[in-house]
Structure 1
């Protein structure tokens, strides 16, 4: 029987890891996607879409499908599923590791304002600007709905649902984004403050350089923690090496 690995995915790194795993002999890969994006980029191997029904449902799925190890390669801000995975893996006694791309680091010229939540970001905005480039995705816009005096350019893969800011333009787009394109958005929409989550990676980093060039402040929402005791890899290659150590290969 091949080793059965469950990759909790939805990120570029998860797809890259699945590509490496399916190329290995004796490994069966199932990638699980949350289903929040209408047309996700599917990884190679088997794919399931949708939730598990909490940690108990995930544990039952791991048992029923004879999973040998779980790799949590979800988005750095998908905190709930990470804790469900830790609970489920512990319940069925299978190894678990997390794959998290490194976060961004400010450089000279950046005007970052750090916060730990979207609500915290909303509290900071009135003192920083009036035309906001909001790049935190379509979830959580309710935190900004009360800022009626501010105008928002909201970029997301799919159209957001209410509640959301009253004065808003929606830009449906998916990274990677270019520095030239981000400069043009800031110039054309007269953006004077950027809001982002610390997602890390290169695909959406050009907005930080564009904001630095324009001299505008950036509100950065920090990441939720990885569950205690879960080993963390920063790249798919590191995840493969860590997985081999955990599996005793």
Structure 2
């Protein structure tokens, strides 16, 4: 019987994993949260939308006879990761987290690490007046109390408006030259972002280093305990095909 693998996706790594598994003797279902209006779709079978918490996911995994789950969601999708860890543990299903490595500062970087968006807003009080905000359109309300100019970039237009705000829509990868031009055009003096990792959006950090700008960067939430984690698509394929996954 062909094994069934659920890939919790929405990231470039999830799409690459689905493509790599296309030639294997597996049924691969990629699940997208549905928060982006026009997402990039992976190859193969796709479902869109939430599961309804741990209970809903548990039922869905049982109904679809899933043999293994790979969580390749965004590193900050902690609620989904926690739900998947609990549901698979209850059912005895193999579970793997695929996370790209986080970013590491280099000489010349002026990074200010924070553990929450509220802390980011506090730190931002004294760092600059023209902010490049790239934490995601759903996080804007946290910064609403600050009397600053915000250059906000997101894939879809935000529903929330800040007092002084300019929105630019875009999806990576971005170039260093393009980011430097953007920062200079809007006279940005501080960057706020999350430790998403990977190369798709890292150019803004290089641009900030080049311009000598401070960066407020939000640490990743911790993974649930006793979870197996890999940092690359080949490792995830190895786990699935020849390791403790669906192989």
TM over 0.5: yes
- Over 6 Å off, 4+ runs: none
Q: Could you tell me which residue of structure 2 aligns to residue 12 of structure 1?
A: 12
Q: Could you tell me which residue of structure 1 aligns to residue 89 of structure 2?
A: 90
* 1:216 maps to 2:210: no
State the distance in 2 between where 1:90 and 1:216 align.
44
Q: CA offsets, 1:85-138, max 9 Å, x none?
A: 011101211000000000000000000000011111111112100000001111
- The structural deviation recorded for 1:151 is 0.3
* 1:156 maps to 2:154: yes
Corresponding residue SS for 2:20: helix
State the distance in 1 between where 2:37 and 2:159 align.
14
Q: Could you tell me which residue of structure 2 aligns to residue 183 of structure 1?
A: 180
Q: Could you tell me which residue of structure 2 aligns to residue 245 of structure 1?
A: 243
Q: Contact 2:67–2:246 (CA<8 Å) still a contact in 1?
A: no
CA RMSD of aligned residues (A): 0.9
Q: CA offsets, 1:15-48, max 9 Å, x none?
A: 0000011111x20100000000000000011100
State the distance in 1 between where 2:226 and 2:44 align.
28
* 1:101 maps to 2:136: no
- The structural deviation recorded for 1:166 is 1.2
Q: Contact 2:3–2:246 (CA<8 Å) still a contact in 1?
A: no
- The structural deviation recorded for 1:248 is 7.5
Corresponding residue SS for 2:125: helix
State the distance in 2 between where 1:202 and 1:247 align.
28
Which of 232, 237, 240 pairs up with 1:235? 232
Q: CA offsets, 1:184-210, max 9 Å, x none?
A: 011100000000100000010010000
State the distance in 1 between where 2:224 and 2:239 align.
17
Corresponding residue SS for 1:30: strand
* 1:196 maps to 2:193: yes
- The structural deviation recorded for 1:165 is 2.0
State the distance in 2 between where 1:216 and 1:247 align.
44
TM-score normalised by the chain length of structure 2:
0.98
- The structural deviation recorded for 1:226 is 1.2
Q: Could you tell me which residue of structure 2 aligns to residue 2 of structure 1?
A: 2
- The structural deviation recorded for 1:242 is 2.3
- The structural deviation recorded for 1:247 is 3.2
Number of residue pairs aligned between Structure 1 and Structure 2: 246
Q: Could you tell me which residue of structure 1 aligns to residue 30 of structure 2?
A: 31
Corresponding residue SS for 1:107: coil
Corresponding residue SS for 1:127: coil
State the distance in 1 between where 2:18 and 2:156 align.
24
Alignment of 1:17-96 (within 5 A): 17-24=17-24, 26-96=25-95
* 5+ residue gaps, structure 1: none
